[in-house]
Structure 1
Amino acid sequence: MPQPQVPDVSFRPEPLAGEPRRLALARRTLEIALFCLPALLISTPWGLLPFTALALAAFLMAPGRIAHGYREIGAALRPLLLMAVAVAVIVAVSTFLHDVRWREADNRLRLLTLPFFALMAYAYRPSRRWLWAGALVGLAGAFAVAVYQVVGGMDRAAGWTANAIVYAEAVIALIVLAVFCRPSGELLWTTAACALGVVTVALSGSRGTWPGVLIVLLIGLLVSGGRARRVSWAVLATLALGAVAALWIGPLAEQTRIEELRSDVHRLKEGDNASSLGARLNLLSLAGQTFVEHPLDGIGVGSFGRAVSALPECRPPVARVGFCRLTHAHSDVPEWAATMGLPGLLAILAVYLLPLVLFVRRLRALPAGRSRASALGGLVLVLVYIASGLTQSMFAHQLVASFYAVAVGLLYGFSLREARSDDSGP
């Protein structure tokens, strides 16, 4: 899985001569944080904690760099800042109106960190190589954990997240970093790590993440050349063979839940909605109905479980099992619309579409021969989240919600640096 073979200014050694020692130390600390972000995200129970602690330490070593960076790129960063603040206001108003616990709003409020991490990537000038190296370690670690769990008897690998879908979504996000933060010439290690990631997704049994895998592979194929393109074709052919094998080989069909999907489709044709696919369709219908009934303010951020509990088949004394235990709509747009009304619908569209537009603008603004890897990586990451958000409420889970804010911010900051590579530093 490749990326375009063009000069990448972010991998040039940083000029340290005459640089304040504290700034140099802050940069090194942030680079270690960038490594820990993907390396420890799902391969350890620590998640984003090491990254957050190290990034905060780097900021405290040279806080003046943030103000300096904002003076240079404030105009380019302002749309993301306004978006994050607007989403925070919508979430906060919903929390107060419906007397919702603040922990329900927490995941959405983490979007406020997105502009901050963009500034850090721009102002402290770390090397993007650390993100790539961390992604390789993270994918290898996630694969090891998945194999251990499946061999140990688990039906679906879930790592430390306790949620197989979230685990697979995080793996796809790491594949994006591995592919589009790759230094020139590092094709072998990148391909091997991405192959481990694809196997990990299969072991998770998550079907909704496969469109994300195809997005990464197809875009990588379109922008690559030479040996990288040949490798992409080989990987694409291997995935196609794997998909065909999953249709005919029993154990593989069971692990990837292809057989369950066949059964769900058959049951739907017979009028039986008591299946995984049927439950998702029922949730979408319920979300649409809830939005129509509460179009302006919804029923409260993070409170979709209330709508489920209010269904006749889920009311007490019925035990809360199966469908009745679901607490979100398993799809981003219906979830935000049902819980926060029209403002929520506009908010989730902005969360995805605004970064998408900004990354496209970065790509168009960079002339031929200039590295576009960060902007391209950010574009693909947002597309992957949009695809995954069709079958899962991404911001209902702290891990993937936080990673979106951090990774999109970092990649946007790196892309702004690439656009100014003719300045005093890369």
Structure 2
Amino acid sequence: MNLNRLVRWVAITAIILSATLMLSMKGGVSYCFFVIFALAIIYLASAENRRYALVILCTHRLYVISMSALPVVTTFQVLVLHEGRLAALDPMLRLILVIPIFLFLVSLPAYLLRRIEWGFVTGALLTGVWALYVLVNPSAWQQPGRLGNSFINPIPFGDTALLLGFLAVTSLDRNTYVNGIELNLKILALVAGCLASYFSGSRGGWIALPWLIWVALSRRRWIESICSRIIISAALSVCLMLASIAPLVRERFKEIGTDLYKLEHGQVMTSTGQRLKLWQASLQLFVEHPIFGVGKGCLEPALIMLADRGKTPRIIANEHAHNEFLSILAETGIFGTISLLLLYIGTFRLFWCEREHKNTTISTAAYLGLALVGSTVIFGLTIDVLPLVMNSTFFALISATLLATIASQKRELALCLHSNKTRICITTNKPL
């Protein structure tokens, strides 16, 4: 179980860079993923390490099952039933390939795994820097009035930037004392992430704000005082008021009402109108293909066929349903939907059960996990999250890192407790 110091630092550097480069470098998170995966395979080549990994697998059966179910269903559908596109397997397989990574990361010290927090900070700060750069260089806009970049469109860009900002501030230790420099950096990262999200105009991602705020503030000792609660309530009220009068926010939400009005009068050519029709068509496809769906990655041709039969407007044909659950329902049927629910509920439960742990490293990692899983579910209401390789890779790697932090810290606490008991027994000359 003793790892070479260089291997440890390569792994931790890759973990930090995975969050740092998420929105700044195309393929950055995948490169980091496979570096750690290679280290995990080398680690598991040892018989002693495999024996320890088997114990971890038995202890974390729920995590293994949760991460494996959807990839297994998708693989069966594509390779056995020959329904679906082979390329659609790539993002799904990241979920199951992270299991060896998790087994490797559990062997690392918890204090090293906690360094992931600085990946969140730098990742969020870079999105803020990009937002400011685009503001002063109008030619850099990828889409007029909507912030994104050359390899990701505004919706997932804004959602991920918001998540990185809140992960940065949620990673603050739930203790009475926080270093001033660290506090300022993480608050700045939160502001940067929110700024990038604002200019992306990703209104679907803003729905996750209440959840992310709750996760960031929960079980903070300093928030127990009435004075702190008044200050926080006032600050949130001011932010809400400023957001409500911000031109971009008002414009984006006003568009919903306008789009619905046009839809009532038979005009489908609006963002909201096309999305609602797309959701209806996805449900229709599920009714026609309830068991295994139309095939992973085959939503667009299935919608075109549906349109040819006169059951939906052809203009809505899209490779994604702009709703994670409806896409899975249409493409993989009831088995895929159950697997998706297992993925989210299983990972959510693992972190939820540890959120009140007395050890702050464990409770902080648990709240970070809740922020990750909860926001992914909420983002999935208005966009397909997991079909994007970078998103599925990020979800898999960060959830594995946070769960490994919890497992590693528990192991260290158990060793410390055993060591103290041994010391007491030696002193008192009593058997263990």
User: TM over 0.5: same fold?
Assistant: yes
- Answer yes or no: is the 8 Å Cα contact 1:176–1:216 preserved in 2: yes
Query: Structure 1 residues 288, 167: closer, same or farther in 2, change over 3 A?
Result: same
The Cα of 1:252 is off from its aligned counterpart by: 5.7
Which amino acid is 1:207 matched to? R
Stretch moving more, 162-171 or 191-200: 162-171
Could you list the per-position Cα deviations for residues 79-122 of structure 1 after superposition, in whole angstroms to 9, with x for gaps in the alignment? 22223333222101211324433111211121103323322331
Stretch moving more, 398-407 or 126-135: 126-135
The answer to whether 1:162 aligns with 2:152 is: yes
What is the TM-score with the length of structure 1 in the denominator? Answer: 0.84
The Cα of 1:314 is off from its aligned counterpart by: 9.8
The 1-side partners of 2:397 and 2:68 are apart by: 16
The Cα of 1:368 is off from its aligned counterpart by: 6.7
Which of 94, 108, 133 lines up with 1:148 in the alignment? 133
The 2-side partners of 1:355 and 1:88 are apart by: 15
Which of 329, 333, 338 lines up with 1:337 in the alignment? 329
- Answer yes or no: is the 8 Å Cα contact 1:146–1:159 preserved in 2: no
Which of 316, 326, 342 lines up with 1:323 in the alignment? 316
Matches within 5 A, 1:116-195: 116-125=100-109, 127-150=112-135, 151-153=137-139, 154=141, 155=144, 156-183=146-173, 184-185=178-179, 186-195=182-191
Query: Structure 1 residues 61, 294: closer, same or farther in 2, change over 3 A?
Result: closer
The Cα of 1:425 is off from its aligned counterpart by: 7.2
The Cα of 1:180 is off from its aligned counterpart by: 3.0
The answer to whether 1:206 aligns with 2:198 is: no
The 2-side partners of 1:227 and 1:146 are apart by: 32
The Cα of 1:73 is off from its aligned counterpart by: 2.4
Partner of 1:77: 60
The answer to whether 1:41 aligns with 2:22 is: yes
Which amino acid is 2:65 matched to? L
**Aligned partner of residue 394 in structure 1, secondary structure:** coil
Which amino acid is 1:152 matched to? P
Q: Which has the higher contact order (CA 8 A, sep 6+)?
A: 1
- Answer yes or no: is the 8 Å Cα contact 1:175–1:194 preserved in 2: yes
The Cα of 1:67 is off from its aligned counterpart by: 2.4
The 2-side partners of 1:101 and 1:299 are apart by: 11
Could you list the per-position Cα deviations for residues 154-210 of structure 1 after superposition, in whole angstroms to 9, with x for gaps in the alignment? 221112433111112221332343133335433221111101100100111111001
The answer to whether 1:108 aligns with 2:108 is: no
Partner of 2:427: none
The 1-side partners of 2:98 and 2:119 are apart by: 20
Identity %: 23
Stretch moving more, 28-37 or 94-103: 94-103
Which of 197, 213, 220 lines up with 1:217 in the alignment? 213
Which of 20, 24, 34 lines up with 2:5 in the alignment? 24
The 2-side partners of 1:68 and 1:93 are apart by: 29
- Answer yes or no: is the 8 Å Cα contact 1:39–1:137 preserved in 2: yes
The 2-side partners of 1:160 and 1:416 are apart by: 38
Which of 327, 330, 339 lines up with 1:347 in the alignment? 339
Query: Structure 1 residues 25, 346: closer, same or farther in 2, change over 3 A?
Result: same
**Aligned partner of residue 355 in structure 2, secondary structure:** helix
The answer to whether 1:89 aligns with 2:75 is: no
Which amino acid is 2:94 matched to? R
Partner of 2:298: 303
**Aligned partner of residue 115 in structure 2, secondary structure:** helix
Partner of 2:365: 374
Query: Structure 1 residues 359, 289: closer, same or farther in 2, change over 3 A?
Result: same
Partner of 1:385: 376
- Segments of structure 2 that go 5 or more residues without pairing to the other structure are 418-432
Which amino acid is 1:360 matched to? W
Partner of 1:360: 352
Which of 397, 406, 412 lines up with 1:415 in the alignment? 406
The 2-side partners of 1:238 and 1:284 are apart by: 36
**Aligned partner of residue 268 in structure 2, secondary structure:** coil
What is the TM-score with the length of structure 2 in the denominator? Answer: 0.83
Larger Rg: 2
The 1-side partners of 2:113 and 2:4 are apart by: 17
Which amino acid is 2:168 matched to? A
- Answer yes or no: is the 8 Å Cα contact 2:131–2:195 preserved in 1: no
- Answer yes or no: is the 8 Å Cα contact 1:332–1:348 preserved in 2: no
Query: Structure 1 residues 46, 109: closer, same or farther in 2, change over 3 A?
Result: closer
Which amino acid is 2:134 matched to? Q
Stretch moving more, 160-169 or 187-196: 160-169
The Cα of 1:371 is off from its aligned counterpart by: 3.8
The Cα of 1:397 is off from its aligned counterpart by: 1.1
- Answer yes or no: is the 8 Å Cα contact 1:81–1:115 preserved in 2: yes
Query: Structure 1 residues 425, 88: closer, same or farther in 2, change over 3 A?
Result: farther
Matches within 5 A, 1:222-301: 222-226=218-222, 232-233=232-233, 235-246=235-246, 249=247, 253-254=250-251, 257-301=252-296
- Answer yes or no: is the 8 Å Cα contact 1:44–1:160 preserved in 2: no
The 2-side partners of 1:356 and 1:66 are apart by: 28
Could you list the per-position Cα deviations for residues 281-310 of structure 1 after superposition, in whole angstroms to 9, with x for gaps in the alignment? 111111111111111121101211122212
Query: Structure 1 residues 210, 135: closer, same or farther in 2, change over 3 A?
Result: same
The 1-side partners of 2:25 and 2:235 are apart by: 28
Partner of 1:12: none
